[in-house]
């Protein structure tokens, strides 16, 4: 069984993330969406809240498991007995950052390989950072995320502009 782990903070999960999961299940037997924490990214939404949103948004896709994790991705991969990482590439800047991660992960766990997929062209400009920014100012994010995410973000930022 070919299992791939799609890690990220999913802060929040966007239509671009969903597109990558939909693409991955056509290639791999099982996709594990690993919702993680980051020392570099502050999140208003709890890890548990982000996991639940991912589960809700991805519920229509077969062979997808959503798990929260803290710590190193390579350790999470070992716990899940997985050796493939899925990463999305939207821009050249993404590639430069992702290439650094590949190198670090190879040193930490040489058995792990990274697979890159690009989202649909009409979704390539969407980023969680931009979605959060729009939501923080009370803007409409419904074109970029699932309805459940839009509602959760409205609630998260209600009265906090």
Residues with catalytic roles: 17, 41, 90, 128
Burial-class residue 62 by CB neighbours within 10 Å (0-12, 13-18, 19+).
Answer: exposed
DSSP H helices in the chain: 15-24, 47-58, 73-79, 92-108, 128-136, 147-157
* Cβ 20 vs Cβ 58: under 8 Å: no
Measured distance between the N- and C-terminal CA atoms of the chain, rounded to whole angstroms: 47
Closest alpha carbon to 144 in 134, 156, 155: 134
Helix axes 47-58, 147-157, angle to 10 degrees: 160
């Amino acid at each position: 069984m070919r299992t791939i782990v799609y890690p990220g903070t999913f802060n929040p999960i966007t239509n671009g993330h969903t597109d990558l999961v939909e693409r991955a299940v056509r290639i791999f037997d099982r996709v594990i969406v690993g919702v993680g924490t980051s020392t570099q990214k502050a999140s208003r939404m709890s890890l548990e809240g982000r996991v639940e949103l991912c589960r809700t948004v991805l519920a229509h896709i077969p062979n997808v498991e959503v798990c929260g994790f803290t710590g190193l991705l390579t350790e999470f991969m070992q716990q899940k007995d997985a050796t493939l990482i899925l990463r999305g590439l939207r821009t050249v800047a993404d590639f430069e950052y992702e290439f650094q991660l590949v190198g670090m992960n190879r040193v930490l766990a040489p058995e792990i390989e990274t697979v890159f997929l690009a989202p649909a062209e009409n979704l390539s400009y969407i980023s969680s950072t931009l979605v959060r920014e729009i939501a923080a100012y009370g803007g409409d994010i419904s074109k970029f995320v699932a309805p459940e995410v839009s509602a959760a973000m409205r609630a998260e930022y209600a009265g906090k502009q």
